[in-house]
Amino acid sequence: MAGRLEDRVVLVTGGGRGFGATIAEAVAREGAHVAIHYNSSAQGAEEVAGHVRALGREAMTAQGDISRWDDIKRVVHEVYARFGRVDVLINNVGDVASNQMSWRDVTEESIDHILAVDVKGTMLMTHEVGLRMVEAKSGVVVNIGSHVVINGSPRAPQYAAAKYGIIGLTKSYAAALGPYVRVNTLGPGFFETERTMNREDWKSGRREAYIERTLLKHVAGPEEIVGSVIFLASDDSRNITGAFLVSNGGYSMVGA
């Protein structure tokens, strides 16, 4: 039985580890060939590529600093040179300022870094791939945002600002690239990765507080979130663009 992304080419940014690796393997299981972008996790990216190939799909890796336009141009060029097209772009890369526990600890360096990666990187990758998708009159962009845009973050306001910026980019490029290209954002809540579970606040009560507030009384794993990415990337969501889909177990219910 053909998968929902059969023979499509999917570019996943930050695909060498964490949620990006989960996404890369999930789209391969749906039949996609995968271009795995990474910055510093070369070994992880190659391991993910190996898993994709083991599923009978083609894979490549491409290194680049997502905050540098020249690097983004080079990565996109490499992917198009290898596959000839990108059918789905998944902008997964993002920094969560996980080491900052209070807004009082914010630094200019942290602000600049998070805005450069989350906003600038997402925008320029969408820009470069989107130009080519419009020329091909076909394509899908899925941005990985956060439910932090609903309630904000007294811990790291720069992170909330960056993720809110992604909503603006989603709406803007949905309008700019339509009718041929759809652009949407997925807003996950907390989900348990190794990075999350190693956070001091997560180990000292925040996990329990999150579960208490969550309607499903559960913290999802990456495999429970990735189905929503597949939905937005596939034809199942063919009539949805410029949208923000929340996946957080009912932690924050959004009105119409």
Q: Which of 159, 173, 210, 251 is catalytic?
A: 159
Residue with tokens 């309630």: 151
For the question of residue 159 being annotated catalytic, the response is: yes
The answer to whether residues 229 and 90 touch, using CB atoms and an 8 Å cutoff, is yes
Catalytic residues: 159
